Structure 1
Amino acid sequence: MSGRQDLTSYGYRKGRAAFLAANDICHLCGHPNADVIDHVTPVAAGADPRDQDNWAPAHGINRCPTCGRNCNGEKGANARTPQLNTSRDWYAGP
């Protein structure tokens, strides 16, 4: 793997499009219309960019239409998911 060439190949882009078509809920803020793939373990840290088990949908280029965040940009290259304040309480307990 040289540089980030694996992230621009036709096969990767096609797989990414299919993944986002099936999964569009951002794993960081919980809102729909995610437009980028977040590599949960960063590619820079040695993760295989083609490993779909390491993929999660996120808002990026187009920002979240609900909360206006660039969720993946706020996360950056950190392997740990930040605690973002969401506009919805996701706790469904008693």
Structure 2
Amino acid sequence: MGGRKDLTSYAYRKRRAAFLAESDVCHLCGHPGADVVDHITPVASGADPRDTDNWAPAHGVKRCPTCGRNCNGEKGATTAAPRLNTSRDWYA
């Protein structure tokens, strides 16, 4: 099983880029433009960062161009991946 240092290896970055090239729709808000891989079961909880079955696209470094959220950052290191409210009523 890998650790956090595996998240910076060249092989990991290459697989991550290929994964995001296939789908950039954020699994949290449903909008396109995802720029990070979210680990559904967090690496901090012992998940293998190389397990692509545990990957999902999310907005992180760049905020969502549609709703302006940092979806992965708002999710944090929880074990569940909640669907964020994408309606405009959260502004009120």
- Are 1:42 and 2:42 counterparts? yes
Amino acid in the other structure paired with 1:11: A
The reply to whether residue 75 of structure 1 matches residue 71 of structure 2 is no
Q: Is the 8 A contact 2:42 2:78 kept in 1?
A: yes
Q: Which has the higher contact order (CA 8 A, sep 6+)?
A: 2
Q: How far, CA to CA, are the matches of 1:50 and 1:3 in structure 2?
A: 9
Structure 2 unaligned regions, length at least 5: none
State how far apart, in whole Å, the 2-side matches of 1:59 and 1:15 are. 17
**Counterpart in the other structure of 1:65:** 65
Return the alpha-carbon distance in structure 2 between the equivalents of residues 9 and 43 of structure 1: 15
Give the C-alpha shift of residue 83 in structure 1: 3.7
- The residue aligned with 2:9 is 9
Q: How many residues align?
A: 88
Tell me the amino acid that sits aligned with residue 42 of structure 1.
P
**Counterpart amino acid of 2:64?**
C
User: Does the 8 A contact of 2:26 with 2:34 survive in 1?
Assistant: yes
Runs of 4+ in 1 over 3 A off after TM superposition: none
**How far apart are 1:87 and its partner, in Å?**
3.4
Query: Which range moves more in the overlay, 47-56 or 77-86?
Result: 77-86
Please report how far the alpha carbon of residue 33 of structure 1 lies from its aligned counterpart in structure 2 after TM superposition.
0.7
Aligned to 1:57, the other structure's residue is in SS state strand
Shift, 1:2, TM fit: 7.3
CA positional deviation for 1:3 = 5.2
Which has a greater percent of helix?
Answer: 2
What's the counterpart of residue 21 of structure 1?
21
Give the whole-Å Cα distance in 2 for the aligned partners of 1:83 and 1:20: 19
State the 1:84 CA deviation.
Answer: 1.3
